[in-house]
Copies of this chain bind each other. A is one copy, B any other.
Amino acid sequence: MTTGYLPPNPERPAVTVDVVIFSLREKDLKVLLIRRGHPPFTGKWAIPGGFVHLDESLDDAARRELEEETGVRDVYFEQLYTFGDPKRDPRGRVITVAYVALVPENVSARAGDDASAVAWHSVQNLPPLAFDHTEIIRYAHRRLRYKLEYTAVGFELLPDEFTLSELQAAYEIVLGEKLDKRNFRRRLDEAGILEETNRFREGEGQGRPARLYRYRKNAVTEVKARRLFP
């Protein structure tokens, strides 16, 4: 602490981070919800979150919440928006910094301390949620669709190796529209963000085995000059 005014304690809002965790499951875009075990909104579904510790950055707080609920580190996440309506929490003034995270299907959820249950819910069919979490999820979904068109973020929803059909299906689920197979592949090819492996997805389906691809980590992902999928 150096000199200088800071507001006395009772005048400070509380600050939380809340994380919208997306994952593709059962051919649907799902979001991880917890059933609240404490007031307010006990028994209601909510996105995971918690108070920001005094010595951790916002990103660190989001990472911590994410790991508590999924056990995973090193997944894609980014800050979404900060929600600060004075009435959004009945306990008093709570400002929340919302994050979005993308995890692949092989990541499983686990209930944290203050949740009585955890489950994946389709974004198309959300239960009534605590706080303004419905609004937050809607906002996150809009941002995800948007980012998918411009950046290579779609890979974050798939395991390390995937077939082109799986990747296309992922895009179709998030964007909510069918894509043309050949045009989709041409775009990926031009973008140069994939590398092919010598392995194939065999035995699973009943047709011809598809080649497995992997995302080139050194590919420039952010702020493409052109849309990836117009």
Which chain B positions have C-beta within 8 A of A6? Answer: 14, 91-92, 94
B82 touches A1 (CB 8 A): no
Task: Name the residue of chain B whose CB is nearest to the CB of A15.
Answer: B13
Closest to A58 in B: B84
> Which chain B positions have C-beta within 8 A of A4?
38-40, 90-91
Q: Is the CB of A1 within 8 A of B91?
A: yes
- Bound-state CA distance A38–B3 (Å) is 9
- Docked complex: A123-154 residues within 8 A CB-CB of B: none
Judge if A9 is at the interface, Cβ distance under 8 Å: yes
A85 at the interface (CB under 8 A from B): yes
How many of A's residues come within 8 Å of B, CB to CB? 38
Q: Are B85 and A82 neighbours in the complex by a CB distance under 8 Å?
A: no
Judge whether A25 is part of the interface by a CB distance below 8 angstroms: no
Partner of A57, one of B14, B86, B94: B86
Is B94 within 8 A of A39, CB to CB? no
**Complexed CA–CA distance, A32 and B94 (Å):** 30
Is residue A180 contacting chain B, with contact meaning CB distance below 8 A? no
Q: Sort A-B residue pairs by CB-CB distance and give the 8 closest, nearest first.
A: A9-B9, A58-B84, A4-B39, A2-B90, A12-B12, A3-B39, A82-B82, A4-B91
